[in-house]
Structure 1
Amino acid sequence: MRTLEERLGYTFRDRKRLEGALYHSSYANEHRSLGIHSNERLEFLGDAVLGLVTADYLFRKHPDLPEGDLTRIRAALVCEESLHEVAQSLDLGSYLKLGKGEEAGGGRQRASILADATESVFAAVYLDGGLEAARALIHRVLLDKERETDVEERRRDYKTELQELVQRRSNQTLQYELVSASGPDHAKVFTSRVLLNGQPIGKGQGHSKKEAEQAAAHAGLATLIRG
């Protein structure tokens, strides 16, 4: 836990709060006799804390942006993909407590579980050190690392754009293939390619299969536009 605290840049007064943020429901269900509770309530609180901190950050940074733009940027900043990346940077998956079935099913690398655990950790810091401690952590691991051009890029759905472009002609078939997955579990890199009528038109990488397919679609769009 001390290593995780170092990665968070925060030392807990009560380390049990951090431990509680790492109990997945599958683990809690298998250890009911020990009085262990899942991190779901913390996830609920962490989602609210993250939303408040992010909204405050954007409100102050962009005094001229309308509500719709602020909402759009906030949604991109706090999406599952962003939180999954935070979890990977912290190697949070190594510290999760999972039930046997979830462990065997690859839950330690599942984006949704890691994203939820990230919100739970935010809540644990909030309960242990208050809003300013949580704000400092969220800025350190998420907000201060984001460039808004990256956020807007992330919100583009290249797979949909490519599908719409291809559908302008009849009898066109798109297919995505996973080419490879490499690296340690907490920083795995996936490579995917997209094929049009069986012919590869783009390849891309990402920290999840979804992200790799989006990158491949982006490359495929560029190929078709050039062609």
Structure 2
Amino acid sequence: MARDGFGRYPIQDAKVLRALTEKLVEHYGQGSLRKAAKKIGLTQPTLYRLHEGVTRHASQTTMRQLESAILTMNKQLHKQLLLAVMPNRALWLFRRGFTAWCLERQSRLVRRRGQNWHRERGKSPRPSREQWRRSGPSADLTSTYEQARRECPDVFKRFERFVDRKGIPLERCKVALVRIVEPLAETSASAFFEPRWIDLSPRQRRQFLEAGRRREEILLSREHPQIHANLLAKGQDPVGDRIWEGRD
């Protein structure tokens, strides 16, 4: 893939940007591209390419004019612009930071550096051979998730509705699902000291899942990760630089 030029913003979601451009054309030009381009401060060819969704990049000047026009028209649409277009540094942070972490976190239990245990009926637990170190936790995680989903489908459907409403990326949703059930998948990793799904009562199992769902929804209630990437790329903190308070 060709490198994005300095100061050029790669367009991540052409459909969203096109929809925003249509609103700008309607608001500033009453449907006329020529009139809208003049009022926004863009050339007509530039606005046309955005309007038709045929451009892969936007220059700093174009972004500056779009932001100004959108903020004047409707501040609520500014978030959509940030999601549609990301600067190079923000895109790098999003992929190398957020997306990479999501992929690593999904398999952290399975890839951990630790012993795995197995047992047979009537015998005490014994350490597994090295080649089987990952298979136990992986099977525990899969089994726990399937049992939980089968017994309490409403909990997962409610969480999925929340995810859809917030527009949470799929990779982050998978992390949340893993973390909701993961504590009950530590059985073979702990020499069978930690409880399994079947060791809890039906009431405890539902309470456990509901607690996990609420926890993940709290963590996912902030701004979209792509917006965070834009702010972090500028050296800003998504929560208003609170991290630096008291350090001066």
Tell me whether the two structures share a fold, i.e. TM-score over 0.5. Answer: no
TM-score (norm 2): 0.30
Structure with the higher fraction of residues in strand conformation:
1
